[in-house]
Amino acid sequence: MRETKELAGMNRREFLRIGLAGTTSALLGGNAFAEAAQYYASSESQHFAFPKPVYRTLGRTGMQITVVSFGAMLTPEPEVIQLALDHGLNYVDTARKYMDGKNEEIVGKALKGRRDKVYVATKTLPASKSKEDIIRDVETSLKALKTDYIDVIQLHNLTDRERVFIPETREALTRLRDQGKVRFFGVTTHKNQVEVLTALMDDRDRFFDTALVAYNFKSENAIADVIAKAAKANIGIIAMKTQAGGYITEEMGPISPHQAALKWALQNSNITAAIPGMKDLAQFKEDVAVMGMPFQYADKLILQRYSKAVDPYYCSLCGKCEDTCPMGVEISTINRALMYAEGAYKSKELARSTYREILRSASASVCLKCSAKDVSGTCVARCINGLNIAAKMERARQLLV
């Protein structure tokens, strides 16, 4: 989830453009390029052959769902979802919260005439815990989705183990299942995922059947480990945020790191499916094309090169470097201002206004008065991710002062 925080504010195709303007061949070697070029790229105006659906079993639910399933949160047109369903995608994820319930209405329109071919997952409101709240949420979702049952009802955004065990919540869910209004129970989690997934396994009743987790090529090993344990316990695992933020494809020519990232997540057999958000037909085609594709050497190269291209520029804004600066420079805020100037935002105005918020005594100009140097004669401030802080501050002085 750290990556998501870091990249928040950029949509998935905007991400950092810095350092990605090189040619495709700079990202891949010749043979790898040829291999990749065969299956990457799927703009709307090119001929596109929809792949044969690939299914995996969602834990103990027994549901066979497509490995690339539909995250509907960002989709404004039901027709795009319908096209996906008509080409074999059979699992759609939405939430009561998305667009204040309007997203469920959009999904409801897409389901018309197709309900028996599709598994529908939605989520109760994040704050809902009481029996009344849970029942109200589900009843409202059923109405919005224009269906009489939900396949997977998920508790939204669990951040600790406590909510896994609330008796009232379980009572409500059980009652709804007994009434035939929901079939299976799940949770979603972005934060403290290890704790939440461990709680699902610790639960003697094994009440929850599925977990929707943030999982991508930048995830810590601990996430993969706990996912493996949960899958072994027959909890169905679905991956979200497989992109670790977002990318822009144009700068990378026909090579899409988005597809590589999706394949990376799906190569883990403990993941039943991923639910990338699909705003439009182009994104749908890009995502669905991955079904059945193995994660190959070319993909590995793409992700490696991509991460490498981004790393020298990318500040996680953790602020730990500021403890090492004797002059009290607000390094992370300055880096954020630089990101506005040079990153996806390309906004000098936003960059300068951000920079102006910093007190002069904590600005990059203060570095010029600093006499503290390390043995090699450079800035003593240290970034845990290896960013060259002195160079960043100099760049800030050039661009923003």
Partner 1 sequence: MLCASAADYAADSSLEKVLPIAECAGDWSMEEKVTFYNRDTLFDRIDGEAEIYFPYGFELLVSARYANKQNPQHAIEVDVYKMGSLIDAFGMYANYRRADDRAIKVGAEGTINSSQLLFYQDRYFVRMQATGTLSIEKNVFFECAKKISRNLPAGAGRPKELEAFSIPAVVRESERYIAQSLLGYAFFPRGLMADAMTGGELVQVFIVPADSQDAAQKDFKHYHEYLQKSGSKVQVTTSQDRYYLEAVDPLYGNVFVEQYGRYLIGTVKIKETAAAKQLAEQLRKRLDNSPIH
Active site residues: 98
Decide: is 50 part of the binding site for partner 1 (CB under 8 A).
Answer: no
**Which residue(s) pair with 123 in the sheet?**
154
Number of neighbours of residue 116 by Cβ within 10 angstroms = 6
25 binds partner 1 (CB under 8 A): no
Residue 10 touches partner 1, criterion: CB under 8 A: yes
210-214/182-189 β-pairing: parallel
Name which of 37 and 350 has its Cβ closer to partner 1. 350
Answer yes or no: are the C-beta atoms of 185 and 128 closer than 8 Å.
no
**Structure tokens, 135:** 């029942």
Under the binding rule (CB under 8 A), the answer on residue 88 touching partner 1 is: no
Residue 51 structure tokens: 């792949």
Which residues inside 243-262 make contact with partner 1, applying CB under 8 A?
A: none
CA-based nearest residue to 258, from 212, 281, 296, 290: 290
Q: Could you say whether residue 190 binds partner 1 (CB under 8 A)?
A: yes
CA–CA gap between residue 58 and residue 61 (Å, rounded):
6
Q: Where does this chain touch partner 1 (CB under 8 A) — which range of 7-15, 107-115, 162-170, 223-231?
A: 7-15
**CB neighbours of 28 closer than 8 A, spacing ≥ 6?**
36, 255, 298, 301, 302, 305
In the block, which residue shows the tokens 């090699």? 376
1 Cα distance to chain centroid: 8
* Nearer Cβ to partner 1 (304/385): 385
Q: Which residue among 194, 224, 228, 281 contacts partner 1 (CB under 8 A)?
A: 281
Q: Which of 77, 203, 322, 394 binds partner 1 (CB under 8 A)?
A: 77
Q: How far is the CB of 18 from partner 1 (least distance, A)?
A: 16
Which candidate, 323, 236, 246, 304, places its Cα nearest to that of 62?
A: 236
Per rule CB under 8 A, is residue 47 in the interface with partner 1? yes
Q: By C-beta, is 349 or 374 nearer to partner 1?
A: 349
186 binds partner 1 (CB under 8 A): no
Contact residue for partner 1 among 18, 37, 99, 166 (CB under 8 A): 99
Q: How far is CA 336 from CA 10, 37, 106, 326, 351, in A?
A: 13, 35, 36, 20, 8
Nearer CB in complex with partner 1: 161/279: 279
Which residues of the shown chain bind partner 1 in the complex (CB under 8 A)?
A: 4-5, 8-12, 14, 43-48, 73-77, 79-80, 82-83, 97-102, 105, 127, 136, 157, 190, 240-241, 277, 279-283, 317, 333, 336, 345, 353-354, 356-358
